[in-house]
Copies of this chain bind each other. A is one copy, B any other.
Amino acid sequence: MNLIDETHDPARRSWIDSANGHAAFPIQNLPLGIFSTASRDRRIGVAIGDQIVDLRGLAEAGLVDDRWLAALVRPTLNDWFAHGPVEGRALRRLLSDLLSGEAQRAAVNPHLVAQADAAMHLPCAIGDYTDFYVGIHHATNVGKQFRPDQPLLPNYKYVPIGYHGRASSVRVSGEPVVRPKGQRKAPEATAPDYGPSRRLDYELELGMFIGRGNDLGQTIPIGQAAAHIAGYCLLNDWSARDIQGWEYQPLGPFLAKNFLTSISPWVVSPDALAPFRRAMPPRPAGDPAPLDYLSDDRDRERGALGVTLDVTLLTKAMRKAGHAPHVLSHGEAAAAMYWSAAQIVTHHASNGCNLMPGDLIGTGTLSTADAGGLGSLMEISAGGKAPLALPNGEVRSFLEDGDELILSAHCEAPGAVAIGFGECRGRVLPAR
């Protein structure tokens, strides 16, 4: 799994000039997504520099393995992801060769589209979306606000906690965030009322797409779990904290979350991320060992996701004044996952629940241990008790209408060409 091979070679350059030195999409990345243009209906593409390779075009022109044709001409990635990691790696190698070899230029050129001319769509038809809670610093920070003496519940270090989210309201970056209405009850109020959320928040997460699935009633052994992950994206689990606080007992978050979930459009493969894996932080002394079904030395050896996460905020006033977005958080939050991606997958299927190609799984909010990389305003503003002062004099406890929130991610490692995930953006519109 996740071999470092010639596709990662830092010396490899593309004949597409914009790819060389590109912050997100050099030839070492090659993420897949779904795009359309005025003349091309929805189809699979590969990001390279500021261009997209029309993969359906390549496939129909006979430039890929015939056995891949049926999956690569589809308007979603589900069927391709179902092919699994071996063929995924073979496609990556092929694309790396086509886009680096000058001899292929003439054949590939007709299938290039400028990203500026393309609209991006959801990578997959998402059958089920599940959100986990593996960011231990986030879980601790939030838990402290409710239970200062016991921030983490007794199950946290045994169970990768997760719950089902709403698949129909997952949207790609750029979808407007209509402020949701709902029932809100202030602690001192005797009854709730229904109206626009006053505590609209974001949650910084990674998303992962399932590749091959498992049949109902079958499990996914931990040693095989990584091979079921097709790739990663950024995910914003927009959250209305006032609705959440009133509704969530006893069955968990519902309307506080399901009005929208935004993801970045490009799916970064486990292969592209391989050079950036880093040693997993040791399990804190005194923590229980994972139960056997979640335990795998090779999973630990593969390491933590070496992804640096950034969140910036652009308010309406900042936009008018031409200011740059303000950095809300920056850090190695992905390395703070108490449970690995493989453990998440294995746990999800540990009761025989069938995962399907194209299913989306969120990690849960990722925050660093320090205050510089907190993944939500609820943490940054301490639940509204410590509003954040912005450089232009505005303050924020939660998001206001007109605010735009931008998630981004990049990966760096010595001896490797850096790659990025692109962005996941959303601007808040007033309640309807």
Contacts and interface: CB of A to CB of B under 8 A. Distances in A.
A243 B350 CA distance: 11
Interface string A144-162: 0000000001010011011
Contacts of A176: 217
A165 B240 CA distance: 20
A181 B346 CA distance: 12
A359 B168 contact: yes
A102 B155 CA distance: 66
Interface in A335-356: 347-348, 350-356
Contacts of A352: 178, 180-181, 259-260, 432
A180 B248 CA distance: 26
Contacts of A260: 216, 352
A378 to B, nearest CB: 14
Contact of A258 (B183, B246, B351): B351
A182 B432 contact: no
Contact of A133 (B219, B251, B258, B350): B251
Contacts of A240: 351
Given A162-B251, A163-B252, A171-B216, A155 B353 contact: no
A353 B255 contact: yes
B166 A353 contact: yes
A289 to B, nearest CB: 10
Interface in A217-274: 217-219, 240, 243, 246-256, 258-260
Interface residues of A, number: 63
Contacts of A182: 350-351
A194 B128 contact: no
A432 B217 contact: yes
B161 A291 contact: no
B162 A254 contact: yes
A158 B158 CA distance: 34
A191 B292 CA distance: 13
B246 A155 contact: yes
A127 B167 contact: yes
Contacts of A178: 216-217, 352
A386 to B, nearest CB: 23
A250 B359 CA distance: 23
